[in-house]
Amino acid sequence: MTFQAIHRSFAGRVAERPDATLFELPGGRVVTYGETAELAQRIAARLVADGVVAGDRVAMQVDKSWEAIALYLAVLQVGGMFLPLNTAYTGHEMEHFLTDAEPRVLVCSPARLGEYAGRASESLVVETLGADGDGTLLAGLDAVAPHTDVYAAAPSDPAAILYTSGTTGRSKGAVLTHRNLASNCAALTEAWRYTSGDRLIHALPIFHTHGLFVAMNLTLTTGASVFYLPRFDLDTVIALLPKATVLMGVPTFYTRLAGDGRLDRERVATMRLFVSGSAPLLASDHEAFAGRTGQAILERYGMTETCMNTSNPYDGARKPGTVGPALPGIEVRVADRETGAQVPDGEVGSIEVRGPNVFAGYWRLPEKTAAEFRADGFFITGDVGRIDEDGYVVIVGRDKDLVISGGFNVYPKEIEELIDAHPDVLESAVIGVPHPDFGETVVAVVVLRPGVDAGAVDGAGILAFIAPDLARFKQPRAVQIVESLPRNVMGKVQKAELRKRYAGLFTA
């Protein structure tokens, strides 16, 4: 299967089967392919009226709704760049995205209009969209003629910006092209045998690669349907399993499912595929799940900049603790971090990727982009691993200072900067430690200024100081106040040492 763009392929499915179910919503409402396409065309008309032209960014920070997917399709149709943002981001965090991306339109939830209304200007239109389709974006749309023109986007044209990795404390926008999204969608559809007969349990957020570019793109382009849930709710997912064929989730989904007494072979009899990714799935969790269900979770590996890189096979061994071989059309190598020279299989090194899935670059940051690529076009993922005897990639760690909590990325630098701004704090180090539910969780290790009375400042006070500016999922779950941070001879804080010291904080 090959196609040039997600929205064009979706239009093909609409033409074939307009009455086919796309979304099954909680409460039983069904939304068809035809309805979604029509709403997308009306939203496209609104975006054009708002001044959106090809190349413009359309930012979205809204609760999950099917109408938000219609908005995504509308942005692609008019040649815009879709910029979805986590609803957990505070005004402080949003400031950076809005100044950096300069969107033409921001679609926010009605409840947060008060925060953003003041930003509306000649160059920014603020629209609202609520979880039930309320808000200005859709208001009066019935009277608006659908916009049927489809912008003639080239495969190399940008389709989306997703913000990621802030090693300097500032998130960078990864620009993904139509070719990136379409080629990866085609590769996964084939690799995972995804078809119009599939019924996917969609419990992921739609502001990240996993929930949007993997789960939704595969569905929209194959004619499949989704049980579309606002979030992961264990009881709801357990209840839907007997009606569904596929689940895609982060490891936390599987830890929670495997910990539930209702999960057994009979309950998953119609399920043909459980996919895990975005964070490492412990081999023990893989085995526990298989023991309960008789099904091996298929683990794959991706990232915002590259979409999916590797996948365990659909047919053949799905090996716990590995992420499988490279997907067709994609090259994955393990190289020496310093020289970039490929190392022999079995040796640990820098995981690097080349292929049609690899993004166009960081938004307005040509130097940072160049620094992440080798001269021969391989992208340096920042993950560390090896290739095993079967050609499967094994991820053993990360070169980048990053914590992945429940599948959400947290960049320590950003949190350290906020903590260090506390008047009583000299310095801090933020680390990830093992957590039974989230895989990893965030811990802050803090040194107070000389002379500050240690009895007067506590972790709760430091957390309260940073909370207003930081999304809840990034907030440390523990604060350790110490005399000093361990450093190496170069003076660099030894985070590995801290991770070891606090490894048992949540997992006794």
Q: How far is the CB of 25 from ligand AMP (least distance, A)?
A: 27
CA distance 180 to 309: 11
Contact between 25 and 31 under an 8 Å Cβ cutoff? The reply is yes
From 301, 362, 363, 379, residue interacting with ligand AMP (rule: CB under 6 A): 301
Binding segment (CB under 6 A) for ligand AMP, from list 136-144, 298-306, 455-463, 469-477: 298-306
Phi, psi dihedrals of residue 202, rounded to the nearest 5°: -105, 100
Q: State how far the Cα of 105 lies from the Cα of 103, in Å rounded to an integer.
A: 5
The three-point CA angle 398-401-407 to 5° equals 70
Q: Which stretch binds ligand AMP (CB under 6 A): 287-295, 297-305, 324-332, 440-448?
A: 297-305
Residues 419-458 as x/- pattern, contact with ligand AMP by CB under 6 A: ----------------------------------------
Quick one: what does residue 395 bind among ligand MLC, ligand AMP, none, with the CB cut-off 5 to 8 Å set by partner type? ligand AMP
109 binds ligand AMP, rule: CB under 6 A: no
Q: Does 247 bind ligand MLC (CB under 6 A)?
A: no
Contact status: 406 vs ligand MLC (CB under 6 A): yes
Q: Are strands 81-84 and 105-108 parallel, antiparallel or unpaired?
A: unpaired
Asked if 473 is part of the footprint of ligand MLC (rule: CB under 6 A), the reply reads yes
| CA nearest to 289, candidates 312, 256, 333 | 256
209 scored as a contact of ligand MLC (CB under 6 A): yes
Distances (CA, A) of 451 to 29, 367, 390, 428: 63, 42, 58, 17
Min CB(59)–ligand MLC separation in Å: 18
- The Cα-based distances of 341 to 301, 326, 376, 395 in angstroms read 22, 19, 11, 18
* Contact positions with ligand AMP (CB under 6 A) in 350-409: 381-383, 395, 398, 404, 409
* CB of 310 vs ligand AMP, minimal distance in Å: 8
Which of 138, 212, 258, 303 touches ligand AMP by CB under 6 A? 303
Contact 255, 280 (CB under 8 A): no
| Binding residues for ligand AMP restricted to 21-50, rule: CB under 6 A | none
Distance, in Å, from the CA atom of 394 to the CA atom of 315, rounded to the nearest integer, reads 19
Q: How far apart are CA 25 and CA 124, in angstroms?
A: 32
Q: Is position 209 an interface residue for ligand AMP (rule: CB under 6 A)? A: yes
Say if CB 384 and CB 397 are below 8 A apart.
yes
Q: Which does 323 bind (CB under 5 to 8 A by kind): ligand MLC, ligand AMP, none?
A: ligand AMP
- Give least dist CB 353 to ligand MLC, A: 12
At 50, list the tokens: 């708002």
Query: Using CB under 6 A, which of the segments 98-106, 208-216, 219-227, 486-494 binds ligand MLC?
Result: 208-216
Of these partners, ligand AMP, ligand MLC, none, which one is at the site of residue 80 (CB under 5 to 8 Å by kind)? none
Helix or strand or coil: residue 188?
helix
Q: What's the one-letter identity of residue 402? A: L
Report d(CA 200, CA 194) in Å as an integer: 10
Residue 71 touches which member of ligand AMP, ligand MLC, none, C-beta under 5-8 Å by kind: none
Q: Should residue 243 be labelled a site residue for ligand MLC when binding is judged by CB under 6 A?
A: no
Residue 417: alpha-carbon gap to chain centroid:
24
Give the DSSP H or E segment for 60. Answer: strand 57-61
Beta bridge partners of 274: 247
Q: Where along the sequence are the contacts to ligand MLC (CB under 6 A)?
A: 204-205, 208-211, 231-232, 250, 252, 277-278, 302-304, 405-408, 438, 472-473
Q: Where along the sequence are the contacts to ligand AMP (CB under 6 A)?
A: 164-165, 209, 277-280, 299, 301-304, 323, 381-383, 395, 398, 404, 409
